[in-house]
Amino acid sequence: MLDIRLIREKPDVVREALARRKEHAPLDELIRADIRRRELLTQTEGLQAERKRVSKQVPRIKDQAERQQLIEEMRGVGDRIAELNRELVEAEEQVSRLLLEMPNLPDPQVPDGEDDSDNVLVRQSGEPRELDFEAKPHWELGEALGIINFEQGQRISGSRFYVLHGDGSRLQRALASWMLDLHRRQGYQEVTVPYMVRRETLRASAHLPDFENTMYELVGEDFWLIPTSESPLTSLHAGEILSAGDLPRQYTSYSANFRREQISAGRDVRGIKRGHQFDKVEMYHFTLPEDSEAALDRLTAHAEETCHLLGLTWRTVERCTGDLGFKNRRGYDVEVWSPGVREWLEVSSTSNVGDFQARRAQVRFKREAGARTEFAHTLNGTGLGMPRTMIAVLENYQQPDGSVVIPEALRPYMGGQQRMESG
């Protein structure tokens, strides 16, 4: 969340930054609520001081009537304090709620724009690959090879589900294992996180309240299925005070993820590009504030290296203000070219969140003993998303006879197998 002091002291700076995001934010309502909260606090503290002062005088007053009158007056003051306290609690809850609804402020370096069409190309490795035969989309390849079964997925769970068989299941497992090993070599600690988390955990990662309509909640219990392992990773150090020497900390995690996908009619309705359940590997950083910009570059480079080692054509775009996302201050998308669907597929989204999540999760650090506490910065990035990476591998490595060559990096993870073939 944002620092309430920044909102109080520089509201125009905050307003200008929010205007760049092209989305509504309850700034004015928050300012009014904060003013009201401080007024109530001032009144309450003033009456408490008065009651304390008078209470010390009462025993010294000899006149019984005068003493009784002051006692009655203080009872009235006590009733007013109790009423103000109730109003103060309501005001504090309103300020807290509105703060949770305020998006992060974009970094001044972020390009202005309305949506993803205004994202800026940063770099590209290779040109979109054209096969010397008619490229098939992954859903045709998968069904012909017997590795993706859409009918079974729909029978079991409904639309937007599928079942992986044989080499398809092994390919996904190989991708996940290879990526985790790669990220370990890049300096990450591997962790396995719960797939169900509490509301408090999703508030800390800023997925609540803004993304509530896209997540699955278990009826009758305070459990939510994770939309990304970023959520539990944010709370690994919730409430802790680390030392500066503990930072940076870099984690990687493989998990299933669950989201309510709103699919437009006629768009992305075939294949495995969009689904309610999908797997991915996540990268997550806790850093010192002055190091987070360099950490974003490093995080993005790690995602790019993953694409490069798979032999895929990739490009990196910087997200504009209109496509930045609620909790992010700056970020990039890494996309790979897939010739079957003939489009660039986003396989990684990397983001510098600044202290936005750390304030919610209370992840702090001290530079030395006795120093004041500061909030860490957090960053996250996909490293990579399984469905779209599988699409790119299948479509880029397909052969004229319908077989698919396994990328060299993955062969040790598939027992030395070099090709997927039907039958």
Tens of pLDDT, residues 192-206: 999 999 999 999 999
Per residue in 293-341, pLDDT (tens digit) is 999 999 999 999 999 999 999 999 999 999 999 999 999 999 999 999 9
In this prediction, residue 262 has a pLDDT band, given cuts at 50, 70 and 90, of low
Residues 95 and 161 reside in one and the same domain: no
123 is catalytic: no
- Interhelix angle 166-185/386-396, nearest 10 degrees: 110
Residues 228 and 299 reside in one and the same domain: yes
For residue 51, what pLDDT is reported? 81
Residue 327 domain-assigned? yes
Q: How far apart are CA 120 and CA 137, in angstroms?
A: 27
How many Cα atoms sit within 13 Å of 213 on the Cβ side? 2
- Round the average pLDDT of the chain to a whole number and report it: 94
Q: Count of domains in the chain?
A: 2
Which residue among 44, 74, 100 closes a domain? 100
* DSSP state for residue 131 in the 8-state scheme: -
Q: What is the pTM of this model?
A: 0.92
> Could you give the percent of the chain with pLDDT greater than 70?
98
Give φ, ψ of 272 to 5 degrees: -115, 15
pLDDT exceeds 60 at position 292: yes
Residues 38 and 142 reside in one and the same domain: no
Residue 60 domain-assigned? yes
For residue 78, what pLDDT is reported? 85
Residues 67 and 165 reside in one and the same domain: no
Residues 306 and 400 reside in one and the same domain: yes
Which residue among 100, 127, 156 closes a domain? 100
Residue among 39, 92, 143, 346 flagged as catalytic: 346
Token digits of residue 403: 């077989």
Residues 59 and 195 reside in one and the same domain: no
In this prediction, residue 365 has a pLDDT band, given cuts at 50, 70 and 90, of very high
- Give the pLDDT mean for 128-135: 93
* DSSP state for residue 266 in the 8-state scheme: T
In this prediction, residue 408 has a pLDDT band, given cuts at 50, 70 and 90, of very high
Residue 400 domain-assigned? yes
Token digits of residue 374: 């500061």
For residue 398, the enclosing domain spans 116-420
Residue 232 domain-assigned? yes
Q: How far apart are CA 305 and CA 292, in angstroms?
A: 20
CA-derived radius of gyration, the chain: 27
* Spatial CA neighbour of 194 closest among 266, 253, 276: 253
- Of 51 and 14, the structure prediction assigns the larger pLDDT to 14
In this prediction, residue 141 has a pLDDT band, given cuts at 50, 70 and 90, of very high
259 is catalytic: yes
Residue among 282, 304, 388, 395 flagged as catalytic: 388
> Cβ(78)–Cβ(125) under 8 Å?
no
Question: To which residue do tokens 């700076």 refer?
Answer: 13
Residue among 8, 274, 411, 422 flagged as catalytic: 274
Residue 109 domain-assigned? no
What is the torsion angle, in degrees rounded to the nearest 10, for the CA atoms of residue 393, residue 397, residue 403 and residue 406?
-70
For residue 68, what pLDDT is reported? 79
Query: What is the SS3 assignment for 345?
Result: strand
Residues 204 and 143 reside in one and the same domain: yes
Q: How many residues does the chain have?
A: 423
Residues 75 and 130 reside in one and the same domain: no
Q: How far apart are CA 271 and CA 268, in angstroms?
A: 7
Residue among 293, 349, 351, 395 flagged as catalytic: 349
pLDDT exceeds 70 at position 264: no
Q: How far apart are CA 34 and CA 8, in angstroms?
A: 8
- Of 289 and 370, the structure prediction assigns the larger pLDDT to 289
pLDDT exceeds 80 at position 16: yes
Residues 230 and 369 reside in one and the same domain: yes
Q: How far is CA 361 from CA 247, 289, 357, 385, 391, in A?
A: 16, 16, 6, 26, 36
For residue 66, what pLDDT is reported? 76
Exposure letters 237-270 (e unless 16+ CB within 10 A, then b): bbeeebeeeebbbbbbbbbebbbeeeeeeeeeee
Q: How far is CA 413 from CA 175, 390, 405, in A?
A: 8, 15, 14
Token digits of residue 183: 């990220």
Residue among 259, 298, 329, 364 flagged as catalytic: 259
Token digits of residue 211: 């993304």
Q: How far apart are CA 199 and CA 49, in angstroms?
A: 39
- Give the pLDDT mean for 18-26: 92
- Give the pLDDT mean for 235-260: 97
For residue 118, what pLDDT is reported? 97
pLDDT exceeds 60 at position 267: no
In this prediction, residue 263 has a pLDDT band, given cuts at 50, 70 and 90, of low
Residue 107 domain-assigned? no
For residue 268, what pLDDT is reported? 61
Lowest mean pLDDT among 42-51, 122-131, 238-247: 42-51
Per residue in 48-107, pLDDT (tens digit) is 888 888 777 777 777 778 777 777 778 888 888 999 999 999 999 999 999 999 999 999
Residues 333 and 374 reside in one and the same domain: yes
Beta strands in 214-370 (DSSP E): 224-225, 241-243, 249-258, 277-287, 314-318, 330-338, 343-354, 364-366
For residue 270, what pLDDT is reported? 85
For residue 316, what pLDDT is reported? 98
Residues 15 and 54 reside in one and the same domain: yes
Residues 77 and 171 reside in one and the same domain: no
Q: How far is CA 206 from CA 253, 278, 403, in A?
A: 19, 21, 43
For residue 76, what pLDDT is reported? 87
Residue 272's domain is classified under what CATH number?
3.30.930.10
Residue 8's domain is classified under what CATH number?
1.10.287.40
349 is catalytic: yes
> Cβ(312)–Cβ(335) under 8 Å?
no
60 is catalytic: no
